[in-house]
Amino acid sequence: MTCFALKKRIVSSQCSALLVGVAMLLSGLAADPAQAARRKDGKPVEVSQRAKKAAAPARGVDKKRQVRKGVSRAALRRGAVAGAAATAVAVAPRLSYGQASGLHETADPLDLKSSVALVVDQDTSEVLFSKNHQAVLPIASLTKLMTALIVTEARQPLDEALVITHEDIDTEKGSRSRLSPGTVLTRGELLHLALMSSENRAANALGRNYPGGLPAFAAAMNRKAAALGMNSTRFVEPTGLSSSNQSSAADLARLVKAAYQHPLLREFSTSPAHEVDIGPRTLHYSNTNGLVRNPGWDIGLQKTGYIVEAGRCLVMQAQMAGRKLIMVFLDSAGKQSRLGDAERVRRWLESGASVRSPGQPLSGTRDKASLS
């Protein structure tokens, strides 16, 4: 399904919710007012003559007041309808591309919450588990792994001071950042924050300070993707805030394998926390992946990502069951579900059980041709 079709399906679901909300409101406005004046036994409440007289409009009331009152009531009704419409839009569920295309309907024996998953032996390229691994979806901040790879391989000086500017403010999603315009950090510090805590302004500043600026940086990202054989991948910017940054699990496994060759990227992406000094203040940042603080995991490289269109995403290189593995989880539903999926895969691997991947041969069958 094309990205245009997915967006059309998402908008359609939101419009349906809007129409339902408006219809409910209009039906409420059209309800019989007399129903409000009934006792518990269902009989109408008798109104005294005095009450009727008090409720009746006084004789000689200015007709202009009546007109204004009618206009005011009509305005209130219009305002109520508009408010209901806004509420309907606000509460309408926003679907990820994977949800809109039905990828979550794919069942798997591990009951993963991610609609896309891939587990590969790093050394042999053996596919141990796969689920919709060729589906192309937005990848959110997994983008920053390619951003870091481009900066590192360009050999730009890590001790060079860079300035955060208004150009680095997120106008795509309106995300927050503690790096206000005017903040000065080294390229190395920005790289660390982009990988470890997914700092968007840091990532954008890295791309902006590449020779040729952001357009040249995006072009370099796409050239590297092509060189790695990431044929289903496209980048338009260095943060992942744009849903146009898209890839597949199979392509991302190649990216993880390439990034793992750089010790600096392994160190920066897996550090549990980091502090940076900004003038008189010290900012404390934590890793977005809680598994790096879990002593039961041996993680060599990782990156998380999230935007609505992509769902919760995670890529990792980790050692378990005596093997170096690359794990990719895309479009996971639920804030902690991607970490839960990683735990499910680990328990399965350590148990030594065999499962059949959706649409794939029995787990353990070698498939080097597609991922080597």
Catalytic amino acids?
141, 144, 198
Within 10 A of 123 (CB to CB), how many other CB atoms are there?
10
- Within 8 A by CB and 6+ apart from 116, the residues are 98, 103, 131, 132, 133, 135, 137, 248, 249, 328, 329, 330, 331
Q: Which two tokens stand for residue 242?
A: 């744009």
Strand partners, 327: 119, 316
Give the three-state DSSP class for 279.
coil
Cα distance between residue 208 and residue 213, in whole Å: 5
User: Helix/strand/coil (H, E, C) string of 225-252?
Assistant: HHHCCCCCCECCCCCCCCCCCEECHHHH
Cα distance between residue 357 and residue 364, in whole Å: 10
Chain centroid to Cα 94, Å, comes to: 11
- Within 8 A by CB and 6+ apart from 49, the residues are none
Q: In angstroms, what CA-CA distances link 335 with 114, 160, 222, 341? A: 11, 36, 30, 12
Assess contact for 293 and 279: CB atoms under 8 A.
no
Cα distance between residue 370 and residue 255, in whole Å: 14
